Amino acid sequence: MRHRPARPARRIPVLAVAILAGVGLCASLLELSPCDAEQRRTAIVEAVERARTSIVNIHGEKLVDNNDAAKGDAKRRVNGMGTGVFIDERGYIITNHHVVDGVKKIIVTTATRENFVAKLVSHDPKTDLAVIKIDSDHEFEIIPVGSSNDLMPGETVIAVGNAFGYEHTVTRGIISALHRTVQVSDAQAYEDLIQTDASINPGNSGGPLLNIEGDMIGINVAVRAGAQGIGFAIPTDRVMKVATTLMSTRRVDRLWHGLVAAQRPDDSAVVLESIDEDSPAASVGLRQGDVITAVSDKHVNRPLDVERFLLGHQAGDAVELTVERSGHPVRMKIELASMTPTDAAPVAAANDPVWEVIGLRLQAIPAKQFQQHRTRYRGGLSVLEVRPDSPASRQGIRQGDVLVGMHVWETVSLENVNYILGRPDFAQLDPIKFYILRGNETLYGHLTVANRTPR
């Protein structure tokens, strides 16, 4: 009788061990155990963790045009959603203008699941950026900001946002191209965008595009309808430049300092590019070329820091600035001043119903001058001033626009506008459609005037 040789102990093939380890399991001969979490902590995981607490979700209800021709010009209510990032510890958030445009009650949800009602601070429809603010008894984490002037096609990027309402969705990809121009509608075009194949979906708008280190290098803004793997972001250098204007003390607090700061091309310093004549800055001896290093002992990295560190002060407050001049630190105090008639647009009379109800100061345009617009409208009113946080301001009407119509009526004269505001059925027209000329374009929007009582 022949004896069968003893069967050797079964071994797990080396290839199988490698596969198991590759999917997140550690193999040691016959025993399998979970891998140490640190072995799975990739650069992408760390980048998301670094930025996550600075990212918020934005949602609210807005009215949009009804595309059903059978229903006329009626509007329908939709639930809007988007994303934003903290750019100041006190609750200032930057996002896309189209995310908050027309939203009556802006709801912000933080990474810690806290809900806040935000107010619109300032916006710029042309660049599609807006600053909103929430109030809290604690400070918030600011998004780490990188530079977009050295981006490379092919480098890894990460998008985080409220995609389709799924909060803090993370997608990754690469930079597909730089300096793209995108026309998304008749009224909105973007220039010099970052193109990426990281998935950007509805709800991602206003959220950050991060580099592999977790620094924000762009604000996600648009997707190409019908295309897959094509999304776009506004470069962060431009975002910070616009944010500096949107958060300026002149615009938010109506205060004047006279400083015009700029970032050096190599991002190494913030320099005084110019100083307004007879301004508080000029009166204390600040000079063009001075390098601003601190405001109230807070370190300055970019021009936005100068403006946000000055926010919240009152006229007459003396704020200490530290500048570097000829290699030496120089400390001086600058006293903030109220805006004066010479550096601000003239203020409308307190009893002007146009100013009080919709927030515009208007002036009739002579017929010959209006003909230069080459439009079918017979006349219009030049916008001299827009009151901050007014219905007109919230709709993006700017100084220099020409108001040519409201609802079904022309606005050739101030009497036309006063007639519209004084109609007994004015409340039924809310929101009221308006038409403006801006350059060679005719634009329209809807003014929501919930209360006609003057401020």
Catalytic residue annotation: 98, 128, 205
Alpha helices in 189-331 (DSSP H): 236-246, 249-252, 280-283, 303-310
- For the chain, what is the total number of helices (H) and then of strands (E)? 11, 28
Q: What are the backbone angles phi and psi of residue 310, rounded to the nearest 5°? A: -90, -10
Judge contact between 162 and 154, C-beta under 8 A. no
Compute the distance between CA of residue 433 and CA of residue 397 in angstroms, rounded to an integer: 13
Distances (CA, A) of 434 to 3, 183, 199, 431, 437: 99, 23, 36, 9, 10
Compute the distance between CA of residue 336 and CA of residue 97 in angstroms, rounded to an integer: 29
Strand 166-183 relative to strand 156-163, pairing: antiparallel
In the structure encoding, which two tokens stand for residue 50, read together? 């670094």
In Å, how far from its chain's centre is CA 179? 19
Compute the distance between CA of residue 449 and CA of residue 271 in angstroms, rounded to an integer: 43
